[in-house]
Amino acid sequence: MNARRILLVFVIALILVPVFSAVGTSPAATVNLIRNEIITYDMLEKEVARYNAPAENTLDVLNLMINDRVFLQGAERDGITVSNQQREEMYRTYKKNYENSVGATISQEEFDQMAVEAFGSVDAFKDALKNQYILDTYVEKVKGDELRSLNLTPSESDINNFYRKNKSSFYMDENVKLAHIFIPKEGDAQKDNQSKTLMNKIVADIKANRTSFEKAVKQYSKDEDSKNIGGDIGWLVYSNENAINGLGESFVDSVFALDTGEVSSVIESNVGYHIVRVSVHNDGKMLNLNDSISPEDSTTVHDYIGQILTNQMLEAAYSEAVDSLVDSLRSEARIRILYK
């Protein structure tokens, strides 16, 4: 096993672990670039246990720990540091970004618990964010120009080969574009029955041409995100597990049974009552290179594969840059490996 390569596999969680000092135990190694640090046998045993590494890989883990410390010292020497205030701000920013990604507000207590479950403690998570910033900043400072000069555009042959090898993955399941009139359930039997009665009246009025679907959306729908755009809620893919779990399998089946342009009767979901109209219904199919990867995304399969391959090339180049930087720092540092 290549000890330098281990560093790259565990970039965010394992590189730049906190600095420890000896606590009366025997040193397994010492590292000195701008100051002397001791890696004790106790520290090494804890890291081996954390990685669940076999005994024969103990020296590899020790080299990883050395890489971590020499990298931290090199970054500090070259002026890359993070204050406690910056570290706290990184934690707050990560929380905001996470909330945006899931579309929900999370209490500080809930987020802290997630950090504990993932990293063992809130401080460990904060250190991981800080150290990832140091890693990225240091690599950019030393290797940024070199990375930007690389040609990371995949060839047409690479794209075609990737498509042939993974063709079965590029399948678009049956999907529909739909709009709805929606009244949520309130958990009160009497109120919910009143809502259902109202929705049945709306359906009757639409089918009798006493009102239009669009007018009924504006007048009755409680879905504020869609009521001003004709009730349009976008695309529903038949195999979408989130939709099935959130709305219910019977709702999804009822929607896909509709003819294009047909206004449904009242459909009950897990969350409320809907009157649905489907404007587009696509059968499932295998995608060609020039097809869009989804009905909601204009990116073609060709371009999507190009992005995948470009990211792979960038990741490999970044890993090589880290390897090179660690090699350089190790050559400058005084390192003694005492582990036997």
For residue 268, tell me if it sits in a domain: yes
* Both structure tokens of 278: 């489907």
Do 12 and 136 fall into the same domain?
yes
pLDDT digits (tens, 9 = 90+) for 272-329: 999 999 999 999 999 999 999 988 889 999 999 999 999 999 999 999 999 999 999 9
Average pLDDT over residues 119-136: 94
pLDDT digits (tens, 9 = 90+) for 78-118: 999 999 999 999 999 999 999 998 888 999 999 999 999 99
Best CA proximity match to 339, nearest among 8, 81, 39: 39
Q: What is the CATH number of the domain that holds 201?
A: 3.10.50.40
- In the prediction, which pLDDT does 50 show? 84
Do 181 and 272 fall into the same domain?
yes
For residue 70, tell me if it sits in a domain: yes
The total number of structural domains that make up the chain: 2
Structure confidence at residue 18 as a pLDDT band (50, 70, 90): very low
For residue 157, tell me if it sits in a domain: no
Global pTM reads: 0.71
The answer for residues whose C-beta is within 8 angstroms of residue 246's C-beta and 6 or more apart is 270, 271
Exposed, middle or buried: residue 240 (CB in 10 Å: 0-12, 13-18, 19+)? middle
